Structures are given as C-alpha cells and as structure tokens.
Amino acid sequence: MTKQKVTVVTGSGQGIGRAIAFRLASDGFTVVINDLNKELAESTAQELRDQGKESFAVQGNVSNRDDQFSLVKQTVEKYGRVDVFVNNAGIAQVAPLLEVREEDLEAIFKINVFGVIYGIQAVAEQMKKQDGRGKIINACSIAGHKGYSLLGTYSATKFAVRGVTQTAAQELAQYNINVNSYCPGIVGTKMWDLVDAKMAEYMGLEIGEAFKKFSEGITLGRPSDPEDVAKFVSYLASSDSDYMTGQSVLIDGGVDFS
C-alpha cells in the first residue's frame, strides 16, 4: 500500500511513455511501468527505484484484454488503487492505402484502438470502486486531427482514439472519471526512427530527411522531446485539469502542414 497517488503508464519502457513515467514520479505519483518488452519495462522501473521512487514493472500486451485487466489487478494488489491510467502504448505504420493488407490493419487497430478500449474497461471497473477522482489519459496524435499521406492506417486509429475519448468522457463522468488525450506532433523517439526509415523508402529520401522535412513545418522551430509531451500529461494527471474532459489536445509546437 502507498499513501501516494498511483499511476499506470502503458508502453513506458521507452520514448514518450518513459518520459511520462519519470515526470509523474517526480510529481509524486507511484508509477507502474508496463511494456510489451520485459527488459525495457524492468530497467525503467529499476531506474525509478534507483532514484528512490516506488515502482514496479508489469510485462503485458495492451491488445490482450486479459493482460490489461491483470495489469490493473497487480497494481491494486500492490498499491491498493489506481488514480491515473495512461493508455500510451501505440505503434505506427507507413504505407500507401492501396498497399495496406488485412494483417496490417488488424495489427495496428489491435494495439492503438482495442488496447485503449481494454485499458479504459479495466481501469474504470477499479476507479468506480474508489473514492476520489480518476483520470484516464490516452495517446492520440496530430494524425488524429488530420490525415497525412502514407500514414492512413495510423491516422485511422488515432481518429478512433479521439472518438473513444469523447464517448468514455461522457459515459464515465458519473463515476468521477475524466478522460482526455494528448496529441503529440513530431517527437524524437524510436517510433519516428521507424517512420523515417519507411518514408525514406517510399519517398526516395536519405535516412533522417523525412524527420527533418516534417520538423521544418513546426512553428516553434524544433521537433518535440518526449519531455514536452510529459509536461502536458502531468497537467492532465493533476487536479488542475479536474474541469477538463473529453478533449484531445495538440501538444505539437504548432505543426502547420496545411
């Protein structure tokens, strides 16, 4: 049991999720790390403990409903509650729509959409039983606000996350649960390494060129660090955002690709 508020961050072995985990830990949360990659999850939780923070790792696949319920169960067994659940895990795909195969669609929807819905289901059951306000925070994207060439399947999943965020906010308000999403722009993570490499193939660019090209359209003149996103998630996790729900907010440095 812990007196601190408790948060779970999915896909927090690296990238944006990892930055969110460290930020929420420094905000005073006890943080449970989840990732498909066991080693990444465990090393992140260990680093938090090395900093004197309470944390443990749960390997799991967000696209597996049982794994999501087990993640919440293990958290409650150890810490007694979940105050904030961050549905961060997600994957990208880069391909023209005419080349998208059935297995591609299944793979990305299972993680980016099914995973978010299972996370909401698992944690809402727990939050309904608790006193105090619960917060569910989902990873959306600039691609959840606008379609981009070669990112059709990814965009479809992130538009879906926006819809689910609005619905969940309406259905769960009666239980004192707020549901919002953060929508990053171009963030320098392993995900973008993959996007960049695939775009290079399709567009005949050098490695690094697509990332640079996309970054040039940012009003604030630089791509995002994971920590830029984590600062906004810190707000969504805090009581300062108690009057916000159903929103999918851009945190992208001002991307203008119109």
Catalytic site positions? 154, 158
What are the φ and ψ backbone dihedral angles of 137, each rounded to 5 degrees? -130, 125
Of 6 and 16, CB closest to ligand NAD: 16
Q: Which residues bind ligand NAD (CB under 6 A)?
A: 10-11, 13-17, 35-37, 40, 61-63, 88-91, 111, 139, 141, 184, 186-187, 189-192
**Smallest distance from ligand NAD to CB 213, Å:** 14
**Smallest distance from ligand NAD to CB 239, Å:** 24
Of 25 and 36, CB closest to ligand NAD: 36
Of 88 and 165, CB closest to ligand NAD: 88
**Smallest distance from ligand NAD to CB 1, Å:** 26
Of 79 and 114, CB closest to ligand NAD: 114
Of 36 and 179, CB closest to ligand NAD: 36
**Smallest distance from ligand NAD to CB 243, Å:** 25
**Smallest distance from ligand NAD to CB 109, Å:** 12
SS3 sequence of the chain: CCCCCEEEECCCCCHHHHHHHHHHHHCCCEEEEEECCHHHHHHHHHHHHHCCCCEEEEECCCCCHHHHHHHHHHHHHHHCCCCEEEECCCCCCCECHHHCCHHHHHHHHHHHHHHHHHHHHHHHHHHHHCCCCEEEEEECCHHHCCCCCCEHHHHHHHHHHHHHHHHHHHHHHHHCEEEEEEEECCECCHHHHHHHHHHHHHHCCCCCHHHHHHHCCECCCCCECHHHHHHHHHHHHCHHHCCCCCCEEEECCCECCC
Task: Choose among 192, 68, 88: nearest CA to 139.
Answer: 88
